[in-house]
A and B are shown apart, each in its own frame.
Chain A
Amino acid sequence: MFLAVREIVRNRTRFALLSGAVGLLVVLLLFFQSVASALTGALTGALANQDAEVVVYGARARQNPLASVVPAQTVDALTAVRGVAEAAGVVQGATTAVRPDGTEVDVVVVGIEPGAPGTPRAIDGALPTAGTAAASGSGFDPGFPVGSTVEVGRDRTPVEVTGHAVDASASSSPTLYVPRAEASRLLGGASRTDVVSWVAVRPAEGVEPAVLATRLTDAVDGVQALPRAAAVEALPGVDTITRSFGILYALLYVVVTIVTGVFFLILTVQKRDALVLLRAVGARRRDVVTPVLLQVVLVVGLGALGGSAVTAGLLRVAPETFGGSLSPATASTSTAVVLALGLVSATAAVRRVLAIEPAEATMSGGLG
């Protein structure tokens, strides 16, 4: 312990460089995780946090709410299937809205039957009625505050926000929940009333959503029903985001491991003479290996903690850029993984140290 810390203090520049590099790599890692989490949450919130356990799309929609079209009369056919407690059509489409400060933003309008399946599970405030909406931010955009009035669609129809739908954004955009009849009007004059985008289904008590989904797909022509969790996973973009960021995480973990491992290997080679001497004067293998591992823990640990602190600061000051949705559990896990990889990376250095024989001190050139 004493030797390990003294060496770090005496050679603080080189250890600080390694710690800094690890810290920045941790910043990148946590930043990726925050962006991925915010993107996924903003894409899936509307579906994941609505109260229907089964989602029904048009058969050719490829589980995409924006590409799905279901005839309105299909809602009645679905309701008639055994095991269905309640079903309601949902209309979903993209348009623009003007905030009270005059800025225009892309929004998704979701038309629901307030209180029926498809309604967000958590709304702070009132359910939407004619002329009002419940709004959700998107993770990168706080959305619209309760009490504000926004102008929606090409006709700039004023809509008062009377409720906050919690974590219920669709397509990574601020989302407005309005009564279904209002949605068609807000999304464009040519909108159809004979179709809905998808149907939200609440199973009867004791009916498994997965079983009911299969039954609905089989019983009603032209639809594909999915349990809510499967529908969330199948949303366009979710799988691509998960895999793309997975590649970046893997690359970062490899870089952290290699940089740390190579640093401690070079350091061990450079101080080999001193280690031989220590062994010759009676130090046990454990006495020379422990300082190496301790240094790994201190340097990588400090880097990881510093990186986590910097990331937390960045997320706090610029949530619209970084997403601001990094959970402490995710940050802790990533930090622990980086630390574990740091210890694994020190294997080569530790093997070199273990191979040192005290007798080398007596050999020609043994101490350089």
Chain B
Amino acid sequence: MRVAVRELWRRPGRFTPVGGALVLLVLLLLVLGGFLDGLTLSQTGSYRAQAGHLLVLSADADLRLDRSRLPTSAAQWLADLEGVAAIGGLATVPTTAGTGEQVEDAVLVGYGLDTTVLPAPPADGDVVVDRQLARVADVAVGDVVAVGPEGRELTVSAFVDDVSQGAPTLWTSLPTWREVASSAAAAGPLPADAVEAFVVAPTAGIGLSTLESTIEDGGRVQAATVDELVGALDVVQQQAATFRGIIAVTLVVTFLVVALFFALLTLERVRVHAVLKAMGARTLDLVAGVAAQAVVVAAVAVLLGGGLAVAFTAVLPPDLPVRLVAGRGLVVAAGTLVTALAGGLFTLRRLLRIDPAQALG
């Protein structure tokens, strides 16, 4: 194994081709993962902003916020339940927002409860803005944004990060939301006495699952955690399955590439390996050497590919849904190392067949 590592050190050029191909494959894997995470995160922001709370939806909503409608009168019933510390309504509407001539797609959210992500609901006429809107449009705190088809002017009071829901979100009080939403679409607005959901904060010491059971008792409504709601989004699940399939196929390509190159390298060094065997090296030593080379080359490729992916995604336009997430990076790194190891060991059969007598020519 020491010989193999030394060879890597002394003759890096020999491994540059496979390393270069692996760097590109790691870049591809990370960009694919970036699209998966970017798409998922950019479509679930208004859910994730409620982390640590429960969302209560109508019983027939199938855990979908856009299918849920609850009468505002249900707030009192919920507030009286044991384990409920605070409650606030939640309602969304897709619309547009912008300053001056620049108008962007946006989702206006009416809310009534602060969370670890969201500040307390702003005063009527004010709006808390997703920082993504500031990236695509020139908006600052204190600016006025015109929202909806009638251009209702709302004053930006604060920014929040990472709360996009297919488009940048704007968070306002429920009365202001209702005022804008009533004219935001030609069809299907929420009735004046309804919200899509209620957000419920548990009292200290009460677990979310306990509170979920309490709320759902009787079957009048559905209660769910943020993770359960995100998991119920068909589009998120479908695109996750699709991208995972693509990433798996890319890992198979990585395996084939590593196997191919180490097969060629082994072929080139049959006589060297035969000499080593003739001098007493065991087949296991040769296998360990090839495995070490494959892992080291893959590790370097992961580092370089990772750096390249960070640089590459940094220059992409901000409206493209690409997000590099550390957890995904670690999965890609581990997958690449394991796949490269398996690819390197593809030459095992050839190494086993090397006869020490071949050293004599």
Contacts and interface: CB of A to CB of B under 8 A. Distances in A.
Q: Do A and B come from one complex?
A: yes
Nearest to B265: A266
Contact of A251 (B28, B105, B259, B261): B28
A197 B191 contact: no
A183 B186 CA distance: 10
B279 interface: no
Nearest to A24: B253
B311 interface: no
Interface stretch (B123-131, B157-165, B296-304, B315-323): B315-323
A70 B149 CA distance: 9
Contacts of B62: 104
B24 A258 contact: yes
Contact of A244 (B185, B188, B320): B320
B186 A196 contact: yes
B32 interface: yes
Contact of A188 (B17, B189, B267): B189
A174 to B, nearest CB: 13
A184 to B, nearest CB: 6
Interface stretch (B73-81, B84-92, B109-117, B244-252): B244-252
A302 interface: no
B contact residues, range: 35 or more
Interface residues of A, number: 65
Interface stretch (A45-53, A88-96, A128-136): A88-96
Contacts of B253: 21, 24-25, 28, 255
B264 interface: yes
Contacts of B49: none
Which of A31, A32, A92, A190 has the most chain B CB atoms closer than 10 A to its own CB? A190
B18 A262 contact: yes
Contact of A62 (B31, B105, B151, B187): B105
Interface string B319-332: 11110000000000
Contact of B191 (A66, A93, A189, A263): A189
7 contacts: A13-B263, A21-B257, A24-B256, A68-B149, A244-B35, A255-B21, A321-B241
Given A18-B260, A189-B191, A197-B187, 6 more contacts: A31-B246, A64-B94, A190-B192, A236-B105, A248-B32, A263-B261
Interface of B: 17-18, 20-21, 24-25, 27-28, 31-32, 35, 62, 66-67, 69, 94-96, 98, 103-105, 146, 148-151, 167, 183-192, 234, 238, 241-242, 246, 249-250, 252-253, 256-257, 259-261, 263-264, 267-268, 316-317, 319-322
Interface of A: 13-14, 17-18, 20-21, 24-25, 27-28, 31-32, 35, 58, 60-62, 64, 66-70, 91-96, 104, 106, 109, 111, 140, 154, 183-184, 187-192, 195-197, 236, 240, 243-244, 247-248, 251-252, 254-255, 258-259, 262-263, 265-267, 270, 321
